[in-house]
Chain A
Amino acid sequence: MSTTQPPGAPESAARSEARFRHELYPYRGQDQFMTGTLGYIREALEADEAVVVAVPEARAALLRGELAGEPAVTFVDTATAGPNPGRLVAAWTAWLEGSGEGGRPVRGVGETAWSQARNAAHLSELRQHEWLLNQAFARSSAWSMLCPYDATDGDQAALRSVSRCHPLIHEDGRNTPNGDFLDAGPYPFEVLPAPCDPYQEVSYTYGDLAAVRSKVAQCASDAGVSQEQQAKLAVAATEIATNSIRHGGGSGTLRTWAQDSVFLCEFRDAGYIADPMAGRIRPSARQLGGRGLWLAHQLCDLVEIRSTPEQGTTVRLHMDVQAR
């Protein structure tokens, strides 16, 4: 399991013992949301910390009304990062860095619009993103994050799934350790559902990248993926197939199918991706490799990665199909 220090993340000696605080704040109703979130923000402001707020627009409007003119609070829209939760670690890194110039501590307030998840795969990746934040910012003592969660619907199973990704629970202005937190071991993904019939399958190895692109383009076109999205998919598919050839035993199997207005490409190989943060950190110009999964995350509407030493790696690239 790797940890990643975001570039430029400050860590003063006084804070060297502290860790990234990632708190889930289950609330019921607007009043509780405002009380808990405003309390968290005002505590930050009193400590001369900056705050980055990324919550659904209706909630953001309420907070803006209370914090009008407060220069230390920045509102951001997670939609600008695109539809893939795999882009959010890099987005948060950039937002926090942008507000934390000069080593100033930064608090994030991030509420995921769980109810607007496009499908089960999207929901699963959103949860994994919350869990990955702990890995991504593990050593970033100057950063912390509160994740408001609307628990009004009383869905305890859903709340528990999200809760397991947060080491702390925020309640009545304080945080307490979360006994359900998935602290150790690999993230317990849901098993990927079987491809939807009918699907197409081809094997590939060295020399077959053009054939992989051709198959993906043909099937994507048949499924109604736009030309613009097809161009992005060609790059992503090339990167994932290249990883199979270079790191996954030299070959792989491609499957494509369409399901519920989504076109999917699945790549299976014998390789193992040990680092759960692979593809989540923006590369620098000097970095020699490690851009393949990053590009896939940035170019596709969703990327699912399942990898174990025993079963190898499966990568699913999703492209949403716009209604014609």
Chain B
Amino acid sequence: MGSDGREGGEVRAARALATLDEVDVGDHVCWRVDAAAPFPGTARAYVADGALYGDKIVVVGAVGGVAGDTFRASAAVVLDLPDPGDADSVLAAVKREARTAAREGYRSVRVLAERMPVTEPGAAHDLMAQELRLDEFASECGAMVVCAFRPSQWQADTLEYVASVHPHEMGTRAERPAFRMFSTGVGSWSVDGVIDSQGAAAFNAALRAALRYTPRMRLCFGRLQMIDAAGMGALVEAANHLPGRHVVVEGANETVRLCWELAGYAAPGVPVVMAV
């Protein structure tokens, strides 16, 4: 298994999944739960598939309002954490289960978490940071992580922000945000899609969250189609937000590199460097 969590050196890439049956090792899925969908049933099927494939099941919180006993019956580990918004405790618990699973001979860890809406100032950024670290975990350990969101309970902007840091998505890929940012190894992140003025704030938030834990970041633009002035500004602002941060952008297409130079960012003192 490669450092990006994929077998055979396959590069991790964003994609849409028709059903949860398609979740593969290393995936980190944003599941916008249809109000009319039989949520517990779909979740149970995902969990049951895990048992079939020899995956350890880890359920974070009370998924779909279903009592923990429902999943315990299928040998799932239910992490009923006192503060599910605490990024460190959630990640530590999931990683602990992953280590245990490896010792116990499971193929992988299959995580199912229903995300609770956040409304406090800054909470969306904390949630993005948590999702990015879960994404890194999925990428590095080959885990499968499905995060369920009920759109009716979320502010649209917040959901956009959080969706942007899930490389995989159940159903048709939402038009917004127009980019996805995801881990491609330790200290290495990839962005695909388009970063324009309508996604720049989410991009800035994702970068800020990632740069909290990654002072020196490799940012792969190999799958980025386009970035506009607002997007470039968001990148530089995020790198300037905390001291000592340095971002090396790799794989950018010719137009992106041209725009970067034209925008004046190919200059000394800018903590973001566009590699040739």
Contact = CB atoms under 8 A, between A and B. Distances in A.
A238 B259 CA distance: 13
Interface string A153-197: 000000000000000000000000000000000000000000000
A207 B267 contact: no
B201 interface: no
A285 interface: yes
Contacts of B198: 206-207, 209
Interface stretch (A143-151, A270-278, A290-298, A302-310): A290-298
Given A210-B175, A283-B263, A284-B267, A292 B255 contact: no
A213 B269 CA distance: 33
B176 interface: yes
A232 B255 CA distance: 6
B262 A210 contact: no
Interface string A233-261: 01100110010011000000000000000
A271 to B, nearest CB: 15
A285 B176 contact: no
A13 interface: no
Interface on chain A toward B: helix, strand, loop, or mixed SS? helix
Nearest to A294: B262
Interface stretch (B49-57, B126-134, B144-152, B224-232): B224-232
A246 B198 CA distance: 11
Contacts of B230: 242
Interface string A82-97: 0000000000000000
A282 to B, nearest CB: 6
Counting chain A CB atoms within 10 Å of each CB, the highest count among B228, B233, B263, B267 belongs to: B228
A323 interface: no
Contacts of A299: 258-259, 262
A287 interface: yes
Contacts of A291: 229, 232-233, 263-264
Contact of A207 (B176, B226, B228, B229): B176
Given A231-B226, A232-B255, A285-B267, A238 B233 contact: no
B267 A239 contact: no
B270 interface: yes
B253 A231 contact: yes
A289 interface: yes
A64 to B, nearest CB: 31
Contact of A292 (B176, B226, B229): B229
Given A207-B176, A231-B255, A291-B229, A238 B197 contact: yes
Nearest to B237: A288
B143 to A, nearest CB: 32
Nearest to B176: A207
B196 interface: yes
Contacts of B17: none
Interface string B235-276: 010000000000000000111001100111101011000000
B109 interface: no
B249 to A, nearest CB: 15
B237 to A, nearest CB: 9
Given A231-B253, A235-B226, A242 B196 contact: yes
A167 B236 CA distance: 42
Given A207-B198, A238-B226, A245-B197, 17 more contacts: A209-B178, A209-B196, A209-B198, A213-B226, A231-B226, A231-B254, A231-B255, A232-B255, A235-B228, A235-B255, A242-B196, A284-B264, A284-B267, A289-B229, A294-B262, A295-B259, A298-B262
Interface of B: 175-176, 178, 194, 196-198, 225-226, 228-230, 232-233, 236, 253-255, 258-259, 262-265, 267, 269-270
7 contacts: A206-B198, A207-B198, A238-B197, A239-B229, A242-B228, A285-B267, A285-B269
